[in-house]
């Protein structure tokens, strides 16, 4: 389980409301990104460590709102009340603004704390002012906006607490679903996960009324039978999908007959995404039609973002401790893929040797080409290849170093994928990747299928790492090797410099790095020493 404080801070950073946590003296201990980014706040440049109550009290004689805020927070600090809220204006020379402040008392590790949030309610206030001519319109708008405020104040707080307090993914999903159905008019919520191999969406966790059964059938992405399902549409589009009136939606009976009756009138499906990684989909049903309007849906999407952030934090922690990895193997048949273009033009076989990065972070991929004539010219003219270097020449071909500024290899790196194999024989590229978890595997597979026309999933399997892996050694070396030392070591290895007899000289490798022979050997010797120290568990006394 990741540290609660770290997970709470990560979740708070995503909230669209300003949040601060005070100690029992009123001093600010923690703020979120919205608080720090708020323009015009006098605490915006020096918030942590500032006494919030004392700062507000400086204006209490001239500002009734400041006086009320100080009174309310002081009552909470004194233990006379648990919560306090108030609305106040905070106008700037450029615009008029109003906010809702809410302070709540809680305890953490036996210490009393106070959370303070400020919610922008300017839209509601402006709507009330503009609607003064129509009392009924004002009342209706007020009720609608109060409804949204209630959800923001309740749902955001409770769902965030559920996400922050949970220790596993299952627990987060279960508590979030339960909290949602505890709020009217929601009657059923479920979270589905996607199997990357079968492309099936399986309802993993659900909560709702006992007389509303969960559907039994799995849903399949890109299936004509299931395409109308909002969960399928949300995942395929990467955006929320809403049906405001199920009774008028003909396809509802095909994908969930039991929920098209009196219990359920509208449905929203919201993808759970963090960056490029999709964790699943949240599907929420309401007993009233038209619930998921322009006010309701943004709140739910913000909640989904908070849940995704919590899921990512847990997955990140698990990646650091688990011994399980996912191996994904695909075949790509597309002439636009740079290795396929190279192999097709030269009528040659391409074999992947390895990957490193230069000082600017540009990937440098090493490929053996079993054809010498014209290889450099062809590779240079391929889109996405910035520079081509001949590392060494063999009897049966060349070892090329390709600096890749765009395309598949840089994209794989952003998904945390490690290339195990990337070979081309004919018109089909065989790509084998190692990924940290199923979510990364699914996101990577989706990225590949979106880029290329014909992609076939050859295998998908989870396996355990051995007790000590090359990746473990590599992680330690990354902290000790300089960029030049790592590049010298990797180039020498990929070019078979350590074979005997050597097919490449130190001068050639030095030239490919743009350094002198002596400098190259200095980097190489330092890297070799650190590698051996790591392998033999030596206690290094020098960083070279």
Give the tokens for residue 270: 């919201």
HEC per residue, 340-398: HHHHHHHCCCEEEEEEEECCCCCEEEEEEECCCCCHHHHHHCCCCEEEEEEEEEECCEE
Beta bridge mates, 357: 363
| Cis upstream peptide for 185 (omega within 30°) | yes
- Cβ contact 495:503 at 8 Å: yes
pTM metric for this prediction: 0.47
Beta-carbon contacts of residue 69 (< 8 Å; ≥ 6 apart)? 56, 86, 88, 101
> pLDDT, tens digit, for every residue of 268-302?
999 988 876 788 889 888 888 888 887 778 888 88
Q: In this structure, how many other beta carbons lie within 10 angstroms of the beta carbon of residue 346?
A: 19
From first to last of the 544 residues of the chain, give the pLDDT tens digit: 456 667 767 777 888 888 888 999 989 988 888 888 775 555 455 578 889 888 888 877 778 888 888 899 999 999 999 999 998 888 777 788 888 899 999 988 889 999 999 888 888 888 777 766 565 655 665 565 566 556 556 666 776 777 666 778 888 888 888 888 887 788 888 888 877 667 777 777 878 765 555 554 556 666 666 667 888 888 888 899 998 887 777 666 655 544 444 567 888 999 988 876 788 889 888 888 888 887 778 888 888 888 888 887 777 666 555 566 888 999 999 988 988 988 888 888 999 988 888 878 888 889 999 877 888 888 888 888 889 888 888 877 888 899 988 888 888 887 778 899 999 987 899 999 988 777 778 888 888 988 888 888 888 887 765 544 455 566 666 777 888 888 888 888 888 888 877 778 888 888 888 888 888 888 888 888 888 777 665 444 444 4
What are the domain boundaries of the chain? 4-120, 165-321, 324-534
And the tokens for 366? 């090493």
For residue 153, the model assigns a pLDDT of 60
Are the beta carbons of 268 and 230 closer than 8 angstroms? Answer: yes
Residue 413 confidence (pLDDT): 81
The answer to whether residues 455 and 449 touch, using CB atoms and an 8 Å cutoff, is: yes
**Listed residue (54, 57, 50, 41) closest to 90, CA to CA:** 41
Can you name the CATH fold of 4-120? Beta-Lactamase (3.30.450)
Find the angle CA(108)-CA(111)-CA(112) to the nearest 5 degrees. Answer: 90
By residue count, the chain amounts to 544
DSSP code of residue 218: P
| DSSP for 255-309, written as a single string | H-GGGSSSS--EEEEEEEEETTEEEEEEEEEESSTT-S-TTHHHHHHHHHHHHHH
Number of Cβ within 10 Å of residue 464's Cβ equals 9
pLDDT in tens, 248-257: 776 666 555 4
- In angstroms, the CA 229 to CA 267 distance is 10
Which strands make up the sheet holding 186-195, listed edge to edge?
A: 219-220, 200-208, 186-195, 277-286, 266-274, 241-243
| Cβ-Cβ contacts under 8 Å for 319 (sequence gap 6 or more) | 436, 437
What span, in angstroms and rounded, lies between the C-alpha atoms of 494 and 410?
19
Integer CA distances (angstroms), 316 to 62, 338, 416, 439, 495, in order: 49, 32, 11, 11, 35
* Cβ atoms within 10 Å, residue 310: 28
Please tell me the CATH superfamily of domain 165-321, with its number. GAF domain (3.30.450.40)
Confirm if 331 and 401 have CB atoms less than 8 A apart: no
Which residues touch 185 (CB under 8 Å, ≥6 apart)?
Answer: 286, 287, 288, 291
Cα–Cα distance, 299 to 305 (Å, whole number): 10
Q: Is 33 within 8 Å of 125 (Cβ atoms)?
A: no
Residue 468 vs residues 53, 289, 435, 537: alpha-carbon distances, Å? 53, 57, 17, 12
Same fold, 4-120 and 165-321: yes
């Amino acid at each position: 389980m990741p540290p609660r404080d770290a997970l709470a801070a990560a979740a708070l950073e995503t909230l669209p409301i300003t949040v601060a946590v005070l100690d029992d003296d009123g001093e600010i201990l923690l703020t979120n990104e919205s608080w720090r980014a708020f323009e015009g706040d006098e605490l915006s440049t020096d918030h942590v460590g500032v006494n919030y109550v004392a700062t507000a009290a400086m204006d209490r004689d001239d500002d009734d709102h400041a006086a009320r805020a100080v009174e309310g927070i002081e009552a909470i600090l004194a233990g006379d009340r648990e919560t306090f809220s108030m609305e106040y204006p905070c106008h700037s020379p450029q615009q008029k603004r109003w906010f809702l402040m809410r302070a709540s008392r809680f305890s953490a590790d036996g210490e009393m704390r106070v959370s303070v949030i400020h919610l922008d309610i300017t839209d509601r206030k402006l709507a009330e002012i503009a609607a003064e001519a129509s009392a009924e319109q004002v009342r209706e708008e007020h009720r609608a906006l109060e409804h949204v405020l209630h959800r923001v104040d309740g749902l955001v707080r409770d769902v965030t607490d559920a996400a922050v307090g949970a220790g596993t993914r299952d627990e987060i999903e279960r508590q979030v679903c339960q909290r949602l159905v505890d709020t009217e008019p929601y009657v059923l919520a479920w979270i589905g996960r996607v199997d990357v191999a079968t492309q099936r969406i399986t309802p993993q966790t659900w909560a709702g009324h006992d007389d509303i059964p969960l559907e039994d059938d799995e849903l399949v992405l890109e299936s004509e039978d299931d395409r109308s399902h909002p969960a399928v549409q949300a995942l395929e589009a990467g955006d929320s999908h809403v049906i405001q009136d199920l009774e008028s939606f003909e396809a509802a009976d095909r994908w969930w007959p039991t929920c098209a009756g009196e219990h359920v009138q509208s449905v929203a499906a919201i993808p759970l995404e963090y960056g490029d990684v999709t964790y699943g989909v949240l599907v929420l049903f309401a007993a009233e039609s038209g619930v998921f309007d322009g006010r309701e849906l943004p709140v739910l999407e913000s909640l989904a973002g908070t849940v995704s952030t919590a899921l990512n934090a847990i997955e990140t922690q698990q990646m650091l401790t688990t011994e399980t990895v996912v191996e994904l193997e695909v075949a790509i048949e597309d002439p636009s893929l740079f290795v396929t273009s190279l192999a097709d033009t030269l009528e040659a076989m391409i074999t992947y040797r390895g990957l490193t990065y230069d000082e600017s972070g540009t990937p440098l991929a090493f490929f053996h080409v079993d054809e010498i004539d014209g290889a450099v010219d062809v590779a240079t003219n391929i889109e996405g290849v910035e520079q081509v270097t001949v590392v060494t020449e063999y009897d049966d071909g060349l070892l090329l170093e390709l600096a890749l500024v765009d395309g598949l290899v840089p994209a794989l790196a952003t998904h945390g994928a490690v290339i195990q194999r990337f070979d081309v024989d004919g018109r089909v590229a065989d790509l084998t990747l190692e990924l940290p978890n199923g979510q990364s595997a699914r996101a990577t597979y989706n990225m590949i299928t979106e880029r290329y026309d014909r992609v076939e999933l050859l295998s998908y399997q989870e396996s355990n790492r051995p007790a000590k892996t090359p990746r473990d050694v590599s992680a330690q070396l990354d902290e000790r090797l300089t960029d030049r030392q790592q590049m010298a070591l990797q180039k020498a290895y990929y070019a078979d410099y350590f074979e005997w007899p050597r097919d490449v000289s130190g001068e050639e490798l030095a030239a490919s790095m743009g350094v002198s022979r002596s400098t190259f050997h200095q980097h190489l010797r330092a890297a070799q020493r650190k590698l051996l120290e790591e392998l033999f568990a030596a206690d290094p006394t020098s960083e070279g």
